Chains A and B, each alone.
Chain A
Amino acid sequence: MLPATHKSVEELTSLSKEFREWIIEMLTEAKSGHPGGSLSAIDFLTALWFSEMRGVESADRLADDRDRFVLSKGHGVPALYAILAKKGFFPREELKTLRRTGSRLQGHPDRQRLPIVEASTGSLGQGLSVAQGLAMGLRLQGKNSMVYCMMGDGEIQEGQIWEAAMSAPKYKLSNLCAILDQNGGQIDGPVSEVMPIEPVCDKWAAFGWYVMDIDGHDFAEIQKALAEVRARHERGETKPVFIRARTVKGKGVSFMENKIEWHGAAPKAAEAAKAIAEIRAAR
């Protein structure tokens, strides 16, 4: 398996700007969806898919020993669709079919319609368990592939997450990496008020995970963390890895940033134009 092409921070910055535009465009076209959590996740996902993951170049080369990615916070799927379109898993034009009848691009990931999403998610709390199973299965097959799973910070209020958090260290799954997109918001308000999760790093460490705490919008930090995750696995460390990525909900669009009303509302045409102008102007 060829290693992923290492991308420069400049290249990743440019890609993620493009993806932010596509996210705004597809949500506007769909007239519904979740901009806040898509925009908080896109920088990490861009670095993961374009500078770290192996064997995920396009659908016709879907390899058994590819790295796997599970989006447990399924509502953030516009960010993943933007990446998959760029990778060539479907034509970019298809992004316009998001949430339309008959589309492969369902409102939340659907593994039967689009196998590269690896797991059907959308009822929160389930993706990490599936990722654990993928990690166990790949290891049984003697594959060296990594399995990544991104969770939302509101999502980890779900009990099933903590079942998997307890279980994965038992099986010494160093090929499993859980990522927390900690944007601080959920539908009913700030996570710290709805149901506090802190001290979140201490909790995962106590459950037996190797914990990293990074800025989820800093490409150099993300790349360094992901390189360490793979290096730990390859040198025979036994703990699964938890990355807390500190992020901003709605990142990159000033009027959406940290505004909980943009958790699950699509922009109107004028708002979209303003958002896209701002994304393009950003450095």
Chain B
Amino acid sequence: MSNIVVFGGDSHPDLVSKICDNLNIKASEVHLGKFSNGETSISINESVREKDVYVIQSGCGQVNDAFMQLLILISACKSASASRVTAVMPYFCYSRQPDIPYTAKGAPVIHRPQKEGEAKLTTRRPGADSSFKSLNSVIRSTINLESPQPVRAPELTSSKSFSRIPMIPGSKLQNSHTNGDAEDLFNAQNAGYKLWVVQAGTLIANLLTEAGADHVITMDLHDRQYPGFFDIPVDNLYCKPLAQNYIQHNIPNYEDAVIVSPDAGGAKRATAIADALELSFALIHKERRSQLLKGPPDATLTSGGTLPVSNRPLVSQPITNLRRSSSSSSVSSINSESSKFVQTTMLVGDVRNKVCIVVDDLVDTSYTITRAARLLKEQGATKVYALITHGLFSGDALERIAASEIDQLVVANTVPQQQTVEHLGNDRVDIIDVSRVFGEAIRRIHNGESISMLFEHGY
């Protein structure tokens, strides 16, 4: 193929070389590194003038570093007169946009905790007297200018397992006492302003466009609306044909299996596979009701200590009317000293004595999928497969999966899965290789052919 240049970022070199093998070309030489102050450094060692450039970078590992590297690569190619630059992002970072702060998916880790007793340079503090008369004295008088110590962030990183509730650090942002932030944020909730989590989707799309991307190729975007954030073409490839292929060839007696969606949001994706293979379908519905917001902030919450949901096993109440009803539920309610967390998980559909295939597009902290597997086993499923496109497995997700009821983990290699295989062993993990789909998409886009065939048949 002439006039094509493929660059790989450093997030997933394995996939880059596989895609290049499929295209029967070599990845172009690019040096990726960092300056000693942490700034990303790249140098491109091959001409890109008037070339059709593809930059492959998955949104994994140090996401922001990977993303900046992608932007810099794109911008460098563009300013070196490339005719077209296509961003190939097998996993699109920031594609999942949690919207409710207290049930947000994923667990936040707090940046740079300042250790107590850590020697810090003290800067000369401005005195309480300001030379600017224009400062509003009324406002200034309400602020305690005498607060003697810079407020230290509590050590939040020490606890490894976070709940799915973002914790509010009592930290540097407030010049009151240590828990000021948490308290203020909780109070803000009651004072009529609803705390909201910023949705970065449009921003990421705009940044890519601004850097100079002319085209984006990605796979299984979490939101189907996401391509609408862009003003440039976005080709969203599907892992579904590959997943169907896996089910048909690797799951014995797949005709009797049940496709399960671990939450209501994924129902459409799961039913699509169930319909295509004419399998039955079940849905797990989870409901989280946090009563944390109503009470005063709990000390254990702000210090990142005990977290009600994640640290304790889900206790299901015995269900007596199993035979008669195909719909059953398991309810658990955990009360700690001052915080209450109610969890309801409901299974709709019959899985007794069946092989279950849990289908999800994205597994990050793995709470949802491991909980789903447990519930399915409790309801009499014989074997649980987890079929996942993007296996991010952040935090201690792999330990959780290893200890879970998931018998077979099937995951695509949109993000590196070496660790997963190492952790769970070759027998328990199957990798779906997506490099052929990406390779074929790149070939077709380069040649100006239609790629819709890839949506249906895979490759």
On whether the two chains bind one another, the answer is no
Residues of B within 8 A of A (CB): none
